[in-house]
């Protein structure tokens, strides 16, 4: 049997076991026209609460995330690598930027309070809506002074300045009025007690909720105060407390704040012992101040405002 015959036999055996697979044709079609659909939110058809939730979710959270992320990216590496002086300079710059941002957002969110509270204050008691009072701010003087003065005029000027030394620059703090008009006309500067008869009925609520402090956003925008820091005190009390409380003047090394570690821990000053406790908290904050520490205090302040804890 030759080779051709062997090949023929193999082909026939393969054909006997082969399976025929039917051929199929697939039609994929073609796209004629495609209409683009845009997902748009009809804000006009939403309720006020839905619009507020939409604004808070889409804009406020996103804007806050961008700001905090930028602060973390640009500030944290500097704070970790630079010297203490440069770290504090970077901290002051970042803190000031955050103060302006938070003050603007705070004024926008509390806009209804600016409209309603003046009406309620006028109905509650006669007198102005706002109350301004001289307070002591940050001490911007250099610690190192010249050893001697060159002229008698400089010596006289120095003595006069020290005679009226309040340990810091004074400014007028702005608040919603919580006491009767001219409350200190006869008594002079005194601390407010727990059951002070000078406080109006609405004033008690404003103090407990801290709503009387809202106008101080203006002081923050002017650069006289910060969001976080020791509370500013009146010049008379600063001079007295500096003689009675160790380290009291040191708390004036930073800007006074709308809120602070001492404020969220205890209430208003009513005695020397309460001042001593607050000074300890203030000094702890000054020694350990940082942007992250400020943010933690701000969030705790929100808890104090909502629950009233620490406001009494």
Asked if 305 and 207 count as a contact pair (C-beta separation under 8 A), the reply is no
Rounded distance between C-alpha atoms, residue 262 and residue 304, angstroms: 12
Q: How would you write 26-59 as a 3-class SS string?
A: CCCCCCCCCCCCCCCCCHHHCCHHHHHHHHHHHH
Instruction: Name the phi and psi angles at 171, rounded to 5.
Output: -155, 170
Higher pLDDT, 10 or 290: 290
Q: Strand 257-259 vs strand 226-228: parallel, antiparallel, or unpaired?
A: parallel
pLDDT, average across residues 266-293: 83
- What are the start-end ranges of the E strands in the chain? 130-136, 170-176, 226-228, 257-259
Confidence of residue 176 (pLDDT cuts 50, 70, 90): very high
Tens digit of each residue's pLDDT (9 = 90 or more) over 75-125: 666 555 556 667 777 888 899 999 999 999 999 999 999 999 999 999 998
The token duo for 131 is 């109350």
Instruction: Name the phi and psi angles at 28, rounded to 5.
Output: -85, -10
Confidence of residue 3 (pLDDT cuts 50, 70, 90): low
The pLDDT value given to residue 148: 36
Place of tokens 């009925």: 201
Higher pLDDT, 231 or 7: 231
C-alpha angle with apex 219: 126 to 264, nearest 5 degrees? 85
How many other CB atoms are found less than 10 A from the CB of residue 35?
4
- Checking if the pLDDT of 194 tops 80, the result is no
Asked if 223 and 198 count as a contact pair (C-beta separation under 8 A), the reply is no
Alpha helices (H) along 110-215:
111-124, 152-163, 201-209
Tens digit of each residue's pLDDT (9 = 90 or more) over 27-79: 555 555 555 444 444 445 678 777 777 777 777 777 778 877 877 776 666 55
pLDDT, average across residues 294-298: 92
Place of tokens 């002074």: 145
The pLDDT value given to residue 17: 53
The model carries a pTM of: 0.65
Tens digit of each residue's pLDDT (9 = 90 or more) over 197-244: 788 889 889 888 888 999 999 999 999 999 999 999 888 888 888 888
The pLDDT value given to residue 23: 58
Confidence of residue 13 (pLDDT cuts 50, 70, 90): low
């Amino acid at each position: 049997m030759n080779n051709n015959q062997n090949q023929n036999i193999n082909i026939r055996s393969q054909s006997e076991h082969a399976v025929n697979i039917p051929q199929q044709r697939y039609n994929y079609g073609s796209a004629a026209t495609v209409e683009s659909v845009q997902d748009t939110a009809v804000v006009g058809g939403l309720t006020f609460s839905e619009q507020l939730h939409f604004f808070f979710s889409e804009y406020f959270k996103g804007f806050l995330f961008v700001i905090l992320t930028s602060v973390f990216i640009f500030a944290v590496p500097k704070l970790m690598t630079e010297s203490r002086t440069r770290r504090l300079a970077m901290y002051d710059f970042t803190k000031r930027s955050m103060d302006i941002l938070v003050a603007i957002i705070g004024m926008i969110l509390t806009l209804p309070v600016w409209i309603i509270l003046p009406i309620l204050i006028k109905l509650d008691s006669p007198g102005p809506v706002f109350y301004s009072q001289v307070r002591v701010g940050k001490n911007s003087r250099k610690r190192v002074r010249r050893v001697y003065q060159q002229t008698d005029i400089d010596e006289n000027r120095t003595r006069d300045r020290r005679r009226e030394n309040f340990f810091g620059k004074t400014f007028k703090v702005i608040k919603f009025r919580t006491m009767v008009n001219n409350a200190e006309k006869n008594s002079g500067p005194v601390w407010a007690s727990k059951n002070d008869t000078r406080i109006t009925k609405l004033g008690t609520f404003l103090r407990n909720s801290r709503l009387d402090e809202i106008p101080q956003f203006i002081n923050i925008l002017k650069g006289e105060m910060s969001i976080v820091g020791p509370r500013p005190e009146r010049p008379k009390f600063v001079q007295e407390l500096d003689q009675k409380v160790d380290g009291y003047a040191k708390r004036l090394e930073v800007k006074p704040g709308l809120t602070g570690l001492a404020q969220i821990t205890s209430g208003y000053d009513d005695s020397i012992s309460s001042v001593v406790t607050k000074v300890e908290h203030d000094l702890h904050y000054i020694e350990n101040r940082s942007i992250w520490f400020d943010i933690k205090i701000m969030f705790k302040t929100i808890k104090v405002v909502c629950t009233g804890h620490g406001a009494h």
